[in-house]
Amino acid sequence: MKKVAVILAGSGVFDGSEINEVVLTLLHLTKASASYQCFAPDKPQHHVLNHLTGATEASSRNVLQESARIARGEVQALTELQAEEFDALIIPGGFGVAKNLCDFALQGAAATLDTEVKRVCTEFAEQGKPAGYMCIAPALLPLVYPAGIKLTIGNDADTAAALQQMGAEHIECTVDDIVVDAEHKVVTTPAYMLAQSVAEADVGIGKLVTQVLAWS
């Protein structure tokens, strides 16, 4: 059975992981008879947003504890993740990826990675293991892989320009498709960067999971 590590960034599209993307990822992995283990950084979120109003709240939440809401408690601290124990890596999107796993949402092309995120993603890359990044998560890729890494976030011009400034080759992509960098075994899909419904997000995510497992 293929074993996949899934990195989460909290719970909720605006300050954590995009819940539908996570659930669809886990569903497709399970239907493909693959096993998975969720991980998340054990640290405070960048900030907390009220998902009903969009307002910033004064409270503080922990990324690992919030991720446990999606993973039904089955999540481990990112410090426990060792690439050699897994066949592949998948990172769903959500603005928490660009706020908690890195600071792309704040710094754009000058972004830096969380230390543990960089360690883990680099381990998978250096070991030649396949990886899937969706939605805004491809913003992590230029900070892990060599210049020229092929990726997509869909068709948002400003985001694509920032990623190209960071050294990536951005390829426009529809919501129901994927972009494959066969040299580095990396696959990306726009998901909710473009999706207008959970059904639309599902198609590209399904293709991403299929490709990741095909390489595993």
Q: What's residue 50's pLDDT?
A: 87
3-215 in CATH: which number? 3.40.50.880
Dihedral over Cα of 56, 44, 158, 21: its sign? negative
Catalytic residues: 135
Rounded to 5 degrees, what are φ and ψ at 98? -90, 0
Strand partners, 113: 102
> Quick one: tokens of 8?
């989460």
Collect the ranges in the chain with pLDDT lower than 70. none
Geometric angle at alpha carbon 90, from 178 and 180, rounded to 5°: 25
Residue 146 burial (10 A CB sphere; 0-12, 13-18, 19+)? exposed
**Identity (one letter) of the amino acid at 183?**
E
Check: CB of residue 212 under 8 Å from CB of residue 131: yes
Q: What's residue 49's pLDDT?
A: 78
Q: What's residue 57's pLDDT?
A: 86
Q: What's residue 55's pLDDT?
A: 81
Q: What's residue 38's pLDDT?
A: 98
Q: What's residue 208's pLDDT?
A: 98
